Amino acid sequence: MSAPDNEAGTALEEIVAGDDAAGARLDQWLATALEGLYSRSRLQALIRDGHVTVGGAAVTEPKRKLLVGDRVRLTPPEPEPAEPRGEAIPLAVLYEDDDIIVIDKPAGLVVHPGAGNPAGTLVNALIHHCGASLSGIGGVRRPGIVHRLDKDTSGVMVAAKNDIAHRALADAFADHGRSGGLERAYKALVWGIPLRPAGTIEAALGRAGSDRTRRAVVPQGRPDARHAVTAYSVLERYDFAEDGKSDAALVECRLETGRTHQIRVHMAHIGHPLIGDRDYGAAFFTKANRLPAPLCETVSAFPRQALHAWLLAFDHPVTGERMRFETPLPADFSALINGFRAL
């Protein structure tokens, strides 16, 4: 075949599978047929998103086996804009001035655009709300962002509206409050009750195997190991189960470092994963079956990790004034806790 035209949004020349395609995986064969134009991982993503057809029908399984004579066509998607666009996404603004904006982020809202989330993020909402004032020092994909919460974690966040504020806040978060200027506290509902009413978890975090999105406790000497410290204290105990197999606790966690998924990984590491955490607490999901109705249904249906950033305090990056913001638990989290309290 001739060299393919890879203009985005335009179908590449149709490729007819030859004898070498018999029984081959679609993604592997296509990577060879396109002469390295796309990586195999990129082709897998394009196939899953429906951009490849075989015999005129969309195929979404990269492992699909080919037959001699199959007619394969790839139609790449339109390119994404180089910079995020403003979107009229509602924001719960707790405070705003010319330098910063503090919001109560709802669960389900991604902080900044990335793979799989090109739009509909907090950044898109901030661009629409703040306009041209939003700081760009964090890069075009993360204007104004100095810290983040996981998609399914709710709570207080601050963003910078100019470069001066951005630099000062970024330094404060990089320092992790060691100088006393930054304070962050979370509430988490976990399986089981920690033996000690308060404690500190100090365990390095790194990539969990080949999965780029997950983290795990790793040896301190590993090249990707990052020092991580979480202090926790038990706020409420729910020890109603005689066998102790469905006990739970409401804990407060305070960060001395700010690593990806830090609280979730650290609490799972000591045997108390967050309720609803499908990444780090999947092995505990059957515990909900031991709970009486309707709590069993409430816990089983809870769609996210039970984690809320209820407190954020910092020194204003320009005036130096002490700023402190607290937010109540969102309705779904409150309902979950009230179900345990009722027992």
Task: Give 149-179 pLDDT, tens digit per residue.
Answer: 999 999 999 999 998 999 899 889 887 766 6
CATH tag, 80-175 = 3.30.2350.10
Across residues 235-257, what is the average pLDDT?
86
Catalytic residues: 150
pLDDT value, residue 78: 67
Domains 80-175 and 179-343 share a fold: yes
Per-residue tokens: 203: 């365990």
Q: Where are the domains of the chain?
A: 15-74, 80-175, 179-343
pLDDT more than 70, % of the chain: 91
Q: Extract the runs of DSSP E, i.e. beta strands, from the chain.
A: 15-16, 52-54, 57-58, 71-74, 93-96, 100-105, 154-160, 183-191, 198-202, 205-208, 211-217, 229-238, 248-255, 307-315, 322-326
Q: Which CATH class is domain 179-343?
A: alpha beta
Query: Model pTM?
Result: 0.75
Closest CA to 154 of 340, 298, 305, 301: 305
Task: Give 34-77 pLDDT, tens digit per residue.
Answer: 876 777 788 888 888 888 999 888 888 889 999 999 999 988 87
Task: Give 12-30 pLDDT, tens digit per residue.
Answer: 667 888 888 888 999 888 8
Q: Does domain 15-74 have CATH number 3.40.50.620?
A: no
